[in-house]
Amino acid sequence: MKINKINEEISVSEQINVDDLKIIKDAGFNTIICNRPDNESADQTPQEIIKSAAESVGLNYSFIPIFPGQFTQQAVDEFNEIFLEKENGPIFAYCRTGTRSCTLWALANRDKMSGNEIVEQAKGAGYDLSQLFL
């Protein structure tokens, strides 16, 4: 697992497994957001197993599944709600590669930051979102 830090509030990564949760907790995160729908691949740990293990090590957990290219306003709103609760931060979000999690963060912040700021922060974490703000 590689933690890709976007900013002080959020980092993203590819699919995690139960063994990663202690590392995530020890890295100072308080909340995990799973953006990967179950059953995308045979080797994927089901989100209910991740949820149970996350809660057992003291992490908050939210499931906001995003199918590739299918971002909804409801998902953006749910994501924003998690960020409004300061005790939830810092937040660790994951999907298959981290791109959907990063894109959801970008969409949730489009009214709070400039497109250039979002693109630069995403780029610093290893994600190219320049096409999102053309």
Domain ranges of the chain: 4-127
The verdict on whether omega for the bond into residue 90 sits within 30 degrees of 0, i.e. cis, is yes
In this predicted model, what pLDDT tens digit does every residue of 68-125 receive, in sequence order? 989 999 999 999 999 888 788 899 999 999 999 999 999 999 999 999 999 999 999 9
Confidence at 134, pLDDT banded by 50, 70, 90 = low
DSSP strand pairing (4-5 vs 10-13): antiparallel
Q: Mean of the per-residue pLDDT values for the chain?
A: 95
The model's pTM is: 0.94
- For the domain spanning 4-127, the CATH number is 3.90.190.10
Q: Classify the phi-psi angles of 124: left when phi > 0, otherwise alpha if psi is within -120 to 50, otherwise beta.
A: alpha
